Chain A
Amino acid sequence: MRIASNVYQLQWLASIQRQQADLAAIQDQVSSGRRISTAADDPAGAAQGLLLQQGLDRLENFGTNAETARRRLALEEGSLSQATDALNRVRELAIQAANGTQTQESRSAIAAEARELLTGLLNTANAQDGEGRYLFAGNLVQTRPFVLSGNVQYAGDNGVRSQRVADARTVQEGDPGSAVFMQIPAGNGAYTISPNAGNTGTASWTSATVANGTPFVPGNYTLEFTSATTWEARSGAAVIANGTYASGETISFQGASIEFQGTPAAGDQFTVASAGFKDVFRTVQDFIGTLGTGTSNAAGRTTFQNRLNSDLQNLDQALQQISNFRSQVGARLATIDRQLDNNADVALELKSSLSTIKDLDYATAISKLEQQLTSLEAAQKAYARTQSLSLFDVL
């Protein structure tokens, strides 16, 4: 085959240029450490890398969200723990007050302490985070939620805020004060017992439960002792149950089981009604009110005892409620920890996928680089050798 002289050069030049371009590309990869510098290097990989990177960014966002939620939950937990301490002290005071040896003066002293505790409780419920936002105001974070004017009014709302800690998981980062401090079931949670103010006997209730297996039938009932040893329960004017009574016995009707002590006078009435809510402040205020009840006569002592029983019931409900919220907060913190662990695992996987797509395999790249250099050198030598061959040299 005939070869034109300048074909040598043409071919050599083309091959050298190709090799140099390849060399430059590998060199670029090695110096940047990246397999993909623009999408053209691997279009599908670049698009996938983009989505992986966004996934990683999102996980980072979730991490920050989780830390924010954790910080706020820790503040809530602190406040709830303070509230628990205060309520426990109020309960101790209530037990103390129940002791028959107390005098009017010592009860006044207890009332004074209870008033201090009430103020403390109010401050706890009005706690703010470091940025001046109220923890228990629902979403009205700039409004002081609990205002004392006679009763305590709730000025917040019942909004709850949550933070997203994973694509399909949000964690509530607070509880509205209405749920924590206001909407506490009264009585035993199912019903409340209140003695008629005109009662003259000495019967006072000592325990009120819901009979096993028969839930309390919601409603408003009147329990009347028709004599010292008989009773009847009415819903409106209709008698729905009746029976006999002796001190220490339990009276049961409509799912309610109430144990009484003492001797009722004929006509003494107790109202048994479905329990609504009683806020914790009202409970403490009621207790303070109870402490002011005169106990100079038997009727007064009975009233005192009945009211104190209700107060203790309500305090227990409040403690139960706050303890429920504390365990929820704990569960949320645990959820956050678990989710963060999860997220870290996912992030690790994403990172390694991303690295496979984006990052250079140095071993391969360097050996490729060596190979390119060798073949470039060979091409140069070959050209020098062939170009030195010319018939004119020997003429």
Chain B
Amino acid sequence: MSGTITNGLSALLAAQRALQTTSNNIANANTAGYVRQRIDFVEQPGTPLGRITIGAGVAVADVSRVYDQFLTDNLRTSTSMEQRYAAFGDFATRLDTILGNPDTGVSASVQRFFDQVEAVGRDPTSVAQRQQLLLEGDSLATRLKQLDSQLNGIGNEIDGRLENAADTISQLAAQIADVNGQVMATGGNAPNLLDKRDELLKALGSQIDITTVRQADGSVNVLVGSGQSLVLGSRSARLTTVPDTYDGSRLQLAVDIGGNLQNISTKVNGGIVGGLLAFRNDVLDGARRDLGQLAVGLADTFNAQHRQGMDLQGNLGADFFTTTVPLTSAAATNTGAAVVSAVIADAGGLAARDYELRFNGSAWSVLDSQTGAAVPATGIGTTANPLVFAGLSVAATGTAAAGDRFLVRPLANAATDFGVALRAPAEIAAAAPLVSRVDGSNSSQATIGAPVVADVTDPKLRTTATILFDSPTSYVVFTGTAADLVGPLPYTSGGTISFAGWTVQVSGQPQTGDRFNVQAAAAGSGDNSNAQALAAVDRRGFFAGGTQSITDLGADIVATVGSTANRASNEIKAQQALREQAEIDLQNISGVNLDEEAANMLRYQQAYLAASKVIGVADSLFQNLLQIVGR
């Protein structure tokens, strides 16, 4: 009889526990990170009665979390990657809006400028058109500066976000270490603590990619970067930002392990931080360099053509645009006293890259700072024999120590340094600098073409030169200075005659004594030949070994930022789908199904009622027995 009551009581208690577990599951159905719990029953050992054993009721064996480590880790990793691409994509989209809009991007401004060059060519003596060209040049420079400062602003924002992320990561690490401590204290048997720790690990993973290592004592160690411990048992390290070794204004991530700062920026791949760093290194820096390359290339080609012309005042053209000087910076760790300076030797040879210079105690080596690949260079890095590579000429003064490093960023300031150098409309060199004349007293009808400038730097370029035919088949060229006399040289009709930096063609049958002059064009010339040449500069092959024009580069910039944003948005979609699937997979194991809980509730309710009935039956049996005995 007492066995029946005990059995009934154990069943009653078990059903009660089961109902509690079910109700806890129902209560936490919507709690983030909650892992459903399952109650497991076990039979009580029975009482042996000779050959038979009578059962002794039920007991609760365990309330366990329905949990899958692999799915949990999978969700954390996929969340980490999703956050990486979300952060990357956010910025890629913003960059696309800034540079990728066909109507407001840099190409539109460049086009407007060249349209105005064309207008000056149409009416080369019009001061109004020239003034307008200076204004268009200014607005192109302003546009480049604006774009560059917008990109710079994005860089600053990334720095800010890195700082925030470092704080968040440090806090999360501290909390995980704290939970680790509590878990160790409870012997690893506290479902709510384990749920909480998984949530914290997921939150940490969405900030930065982590590796977790489970310990026998129930704690989880967390590693970041190339294996730096962020959480070790109940202790945690701090993540912090440190200034870049070359550029103090940009921040890098470092783990602070007992005051020893270890830069992990290049090792981070996932999470928001991974996305921010990847965007900054792979996209933002590249976009700024591309913009800089456009500025340098445009300034250089336009200036070179402009110098070939003559302005309204009769002077040879000066530089139209101001251009940049490469930025060099020494690593903070350098011990030598060397100062490195760089100049652009050949703007067409510039690539949109940054370079690292390393000194090994005797010689310099040049590396691509993004890829680390060696860049072939000539020269030894002295002022007399500078290092020459990729359109740059670099020299060091002072003594470098072995291990010293320098960063050369040829295009870092290019967009901000770009500006209009000319101040007066009359200084625009639209005309050709030389004219030719047929002497009025010539006895033949021979003609002379327009002189072509071959070398604008020739000191006697604009000295009036006379081509005199000393016979119908030969000529001499002379200026006022006897020493300049050239010839007599044989003449063929249409043949090229070269003199002080120019060439010209005389055609026809000149007679002895015929003269032709090549001389400086007069001030106020209405010639437009240099303006026409200037208007075609944007389509002339210049970059990449003369295969890429300014227009092509502009289109390239648009295509690059566009495809980056496009790829990022596809990646986000893919990662989102992966994360959703990981979440569903996990939920399907660990999440609460309310129908299941309702069914369980009914089951346990029935079990409870049945157990009550068992006690009731035992009780009435006992009462009956008492009545019989008491009678």
Binding site for B on A (CB under 8 A): 1-7, 10-11, 14, 18, 36-44, 46-51, 53-54, 57, 61, 64-65, 68, 131, 133, 137-143, 154, 157-164, 170, 178, 182-183, 185, 218, 273-277, 358, 390-392, 395
Q: How far is the CB of B102 from chain A (nearest CB, A)?
A: 6
Contact A391 B554 (CB under 8 A): no
Complex CA gap A10/B75 in Å reads 14
A157 in contact with B100 given A4-B593, A57-B111, A274-B511 (CB within 8 Å): no
A183 in contact with B598 given A133-B526, A157-B437, A158-B437 (CB within 8 Å): no
B570-607 interface (Cβ within 8 A of A): 573, 576, 580, 583-584, 587-596, 598-599, 602
Complex CA gap A40/B563 in Å reads 6
Contact A3 B438 (CB under 8 A): no
The 22 listed contacts between A and B (C-beta, < 8 Å) are: A6-B30, A7-B588, A36-B102, A39-B558, A39-B562, A40-B93, A40-B96, A40-B566, A46-B558, A47-B562, A50-B102, A50-B105, A51-B555, A68-B122, A138-B435, A141-B526, A170-B532, A183-B447, A185-B445, A218-B444, A392-B594, A392-B598
Tell which of A46, A158, A273 touches B438, judged by Cβ atoms closer than 8 Å: A158
Contact A218 B123 (CB under 8 A): no
Tell which of B445, B551, B580, B590 touches A10, judged by Cβ atoms closer than 8 Å: B580
A43 in contact with B563 given A4-B588, A7-B588 (CB within 8 Å): yes
The residue on B at minimum CB distance from A67 is: B122
Contact B587 A43 (CB under 8 A): no
Contact B580 A159 (CB under 8 A): no
The 9 closest A-B pairs by CB, nearest first: A39-B562, A4-B591, A39-B100, A43-B562, A40-B565, A141-B526, A47-B559, A43-B563, A391-B598
Tell which of A65, A139, A160 touches B118, judged by Cβ atoms closer than 8 Å: A65
B423-450 interface (Cβ within 8 A of A): 431-432, 435-438, 440-445, 447-448, 450
Q: How far is the CB of A360 from chain B (nearest CB, A)?
A: 15
Q: How many residues of B contact A (CB 8 A)?
A: 83
Complex CA gap A395/B522 in Å reads 105
Contact B96 A157 (CB under 8 A): no
Complex CA gap A32/B443 in Å reads 71
B528 part of interface (Cβ distance < 8 Å): yes
Of A68, A142, A160, most B-chain CB atoms within 10 Å: A142
A51 in contact with B551 given A42-B562, A274-B511, A395-B598 (CB within 8 Å): yes
Contact B125 A37 (CB under 8 A): no
Q: How far is the CB of A124 from chain B (nearest CB, A)?
A: 20
Contact A64 B565 (CB under 8 A): no
B29 part of interface (Cβ distance < 8 Å): yes
B515-555 interface (Cβ within 8 A of A): 521-522, 524-529, 532, 535, 551-552, 554-555
B91-139 interface (Cβ within 8 A of A): 92-93, 96-97, 99-102, 105, 107, 111, 115, 118-119, 121-126
Contact B111 A54 (CB under 8 A): yes
B561 part of interface (Cβ distance < 8 Å): yes
Q: How far is the CB of A17 from chain B (nearest CB, A)?
A: 9
Which chain B residues border A273 with CB–CB below 8 Å? Answer: 443
The residue on A at minimum CB distance from B98 is: A38
Which chain A residues border B244 with CB–CB below 8 Å? Answer: none
A40 in contact with B101 given A2-B589, A141-B125, A158-B437 (CB within 8 Å): no
Binding site for A on B (CB under 8 A): 29-30, 36, 92-93, 96-97, 99-102, 105, 107, 111, 115, 118-119, 121-126, 431-432, 435-438, 440-445, 447-448, 450, 472, 509, 511, 521-522, 524-529, 532, 535, 551-552, 554-556, 558-563, 565-566, 569, 573, 576, 580, 583-584, 587-596, 598-599, 602
Q: How far is the CB of B564 from chain A (nearest CB, A)?
A: 8
Contact B123 A68 (CB under 8 A): yes
Which chain A residues border B521 with CB–CB below 8 Å? Answer: 139, 157, 159
Complex CA gap A158/B593 in Å reads 95
Q: How far is the CB of B560 from chain A (nearest CB, A)?
A: 8
Complex CA gap A303/B494 in Å reads 41
Contact A275 B445 (CB under 8 A): yes
A178 in contact with B438 given A161-B526, A391-B599 (CB within 8 Å): yes
Of A39, A139, A158, most B-chain CB atoms within 10 Å: A39
Which chain A residues border B522 with CB–CB below 8 Å? Answer: 140, 143, 157
Complex CA gap A358/B558 in Å reads 14
Contact B598 A139 (CB under 8 A): no
Tell which of B436, B445, B573 touches A158, judged by Cβ atoms closer than 8 Å: B436
Complex CA gap A7/B591 in Å reads 8
Which chain A residues border B556 with CB–CB below 8 Å? Answer: 47
Complex CA gap A29/B136 in Å reads 32
Tell which of B435, B554, B583 touches A50, judged by Cβ atoms closer than 8 Å: B554
Contact A390 B595 (CB under 8 A): yes
Q: How far is the CB of A268 from chain B (nearest CB, A)?
A: 24
Complex CA gap A4/B28 in Å reads 12
Identify 7 new A-B residue pairs, CB closer than 8 A, beyond the known A61-B118, A157-B435, A276-B442: A39-B558, A51-B555, A139-B431, A139-B527, A143-B522, A218-B509, A276-B445
The residue on B at minimum CB distance from A391 is: B598
Q: How far is the CB of A2 from chain B (nearest CB, A)?
A: 6
Which chain A residues border B99 with CB–CB below 8 Å? Answer: 39
